Amino acid sequence: MGKPTGFLDYGRETGIVRSPKDRIKDFKEFHEPLSVSGQQIQGARCMDCGVPFCQAGMILNGMATGCPLHNLIPEWNDLIFHGNWEEAFRRLQRTNSFPEFTGRVCPALCEVACTSNLNGDPTSIKENELAIIEKAFEMGYIKPEPPRVRTGKKVAVVGSGPAGLAAADRLNKRGHQVTVYERFDRIGGLLMYGIPNMKLDKKIVERRVDFLRAEGIEFVTGANVGENIKAADLLKEYDAVILACGASQPRDIKVLGREAKGICFAVDFLRANTKSLLDSGLADGKYISAKGKNVLIIGGGDTGNDCVGTSIRHGCKSVTQLEMMPKPSETRLPDNPWPEWPRVLKTDYGQEEAIAVFGKDPRLYQTTVKELVADAKGNVKKAVVVSLQPVKDEKTGRVNMAPVEGSEKTIAADLVLIAAGFLGSEAYVAQAFGVELDGRGRVKTGADGYSASVPKVFAAGDMRRGQSLVVWGIHEGREVARAVDRFLMGYTNL
């Protein structure tokens, strides 16, 4: 390493973040990068630790730690420090198809596993990665390179999220002719309509799609396979079909009053908001507005947090988020050592904004909804919530969250957003191809991990593994590309 003592000489610094009260005025990204020299100093903090857990991508105690893509992190950190941005890009490009996405929305599994994180602050790997790819676009290091030779094989990819795009990218580079089918009006899947603009500007997604198109990938929008496009036609026309439709089947709640108006799934709320924002800057009114409403969000996680941030930008009157589980510890507990994923309290951007606007954290821990109450017109107006407590099941040994008798209380709720997770992929695509699903709604795959129960059909991403992270989607896309290439050619050099 150019600076062996960098982790001792320099403190961790990240880019400027716009204040909560300022950034809620728009839907723009609110992280500003460091200067070039500042980013190079952060590259110097990579300590040449000898065992780079940051790129291990391991599962420890049921949780991922380290980069699933096995990015060559110490290498490009050193190249950043020396100002060799082009070679840093070349090294990053070998493992990560879309660093501009992970550099914005990944929870940084790499930084969790950073050796410096054991007794100090981790290297700012995520921001270094983003700096590399943005410098590559700025300086023209990244240019469309259509394959010089085509194999004559044709592949259809159903779904244009991170897994679908990553698979298409790799297979196209191999020389296969790839066509991506997307049911919505814009390419990007989860990246386009599942992640709000303030986390991922859609111009970034469109920039990459334009690049892939220039490399020879074909995109078809408004193509709802299983409805307006027949699965049989794809199987007839293509040598292989990859199903990468995500896990967008939302989990519903079963409570009294669920049928009231003003109750919807978080995914529909977020999707409609992004589409209206892109189409008209919200001027068309074709979205579910939280303006002036008491918003109740049932469920935590990234989706629930995105609903908090979006509702505040609409101008909601109040926002409450229900979390079934107990409030996490603010520091690691002895049974959760490094380099495991830290099970600690995380206050994300939406919660930060709620604290700034309303003076308190919107989350109510160990709480769930018992009943939703409508007014005379059938519009939801109130919610009866109840506290929960952990109770051990003596037969199974599992700990379940059970209602606390007499703990009910009523809160105002004019808009209820259900962010209770997902139950797997929407079944109609799998049914159209006749592939088997498991008990969690995921496509069953064979010995190679990606071939479905029907010949020529493969599955990847959330549709195969269940709801997960963008970085795992990219990993799945790259891996299914290897499986498909081997199926088509008898070997693979991907």
Condensed to tens digits (0 to 9), the pLDDT of residues 12-35 reads: 999 999 999 999 999 999 999 999
Are residues 271 and 412 located together in one domain of the fold?
Answer: yes
Last residue within a domain, chosen from 418, 442, 461: 418
Residues 115-122, mean pLDDT to the nearest whole number = 92
Residue 386 and residue 337 in one domain: yes
- Write out 340-396 in H/E/C secondary structure: CCCCECCCCHHHHHHHHHHCCCCEEECEEEEEEEECCCCEEEEEEEEEEEEEECCCC
Encoded tokens for 11:
């403190």
- pLDDT score of 462 more than 80: yes
- According to the model, what pLDDT value does residue 171 have? 98
Q: Residue 393 class from Cβ within 10 Å (0-12 exposed, 13-18 middle, 19+ buried)?
A: exposed
- Residue where a domain terminates, one of 95, 114, 139: 139
Whether 145 is in a domain gets the answer no
CA distance 240 to 157: 9
Domain match, 108 and 180 both:
no
Residue 402 scores a pLDDT above 90: yes
Pair 275, 406 in one domain: yes
pLDDT at 1: 63
Q: Is the domain of 431 the same as that of 400?
A: no
pLDDT per residue over 375-400, tens digit each?
A: 999 999 999 999 999 998 888 889 89
Q: What is the CA radius of gyration of the chain?
A: 23
pLDDT exceeds cutoff 80 at 139: yes
Answer yes or no: do 240 and 271 share one domain: no
DSSP 234-274: HHHH-SEEEE------BPP---BTTTSBTEEEHHHHHHHHH
146 domain-assigned? no
Q: Does some domain include residue 147?
A: no
The one-character DSSP state at 491 is: S
Q: Are residues 326 and 198 in the same domain?
A: no
Does residue 75 lie within any of the structural domains? yes
Nearest to 368 by CA among 403, 415, 417, 319: 403
Looking at the domain assignment, is residue 365 inside a domain?
Answer: yes
The four Cα atoms 80, 83, 89, 94 give a dihedral, to 10 degrees, of -60
For 237, the domain range is 154-248+423-489
pLDDT for res 395: 85
Same domain, 279 and 389: yes
The pLDDT value given to residue 390: 93
Q: Average pLDDT of the chain?
A: 96
Same domain, 135 and 221: no
This prediction's pTM: 0.96
My answer on whether 277 and 409 are in the same domain is yes
Do 108 and 188 share a structural domain? Answer: no
- Domain C-terminal end among 391, 418, 445: 418
**Statement: residue 448 has pLDDT above 90:** no
Assess if residue 319 is contained within a domain: yes
32 forms bridges with which residues in the sheet? 16
Residue (of 464, 469, 471) closest to 443 by Cα position:
464
Total count of domains within the chain: 3
DSSP H or E stretch at residue 487: helix 470-489
Average pLDDT over residues 426-439: 94
User: What is the per-residue pLDDT for 2?
Assistant: 67
| Domain annotation covers residue 101 | yes
The DSSP code for 328 is: P
The C-alpha angle with vertex 14 and arms to 10 and 19, in degrees rounded to 5, equals 140
Query: Does residue 452 form part of some domain?
Result: yes
Q: What is the CATH number of the domain that holds 428?
A: 3.50.50.60
Query: Which of helix, strand or coil describes residue 152?
Result: coil
Whether the CB-CB separation of 112 and 342 falls below 8 Å is answered with yes
How many angstroms separate the CA atoms of 313 and 279, rounded?
17
* CATH number of the domain where residue 33 is located: 1.10.1060.10
CB atoms within 10 A of CB 408: 13
d(C-alpha 323, C-alpha 58), whole Å: 28
Give mean pLDDT, residues 255-264: 97
Query: Do 373 and 437 belong together in one domain?
Result: no
Q: CA nearest 302: which of 141, 194, 222?
A: 194
Residue whose C-alpha is closest to residue 134's, from 104, 109, 161: 104
Question: pLDDT tens-digit profile of 326-358?
Answer: 999 999 999 999 999 999 999 999 999 999 999
pLDDT, one tens digit per residue, over 170-226 is 999 999 999 999 999 999 999 999 999 999 999 999 999 999 999 999 999 999 999
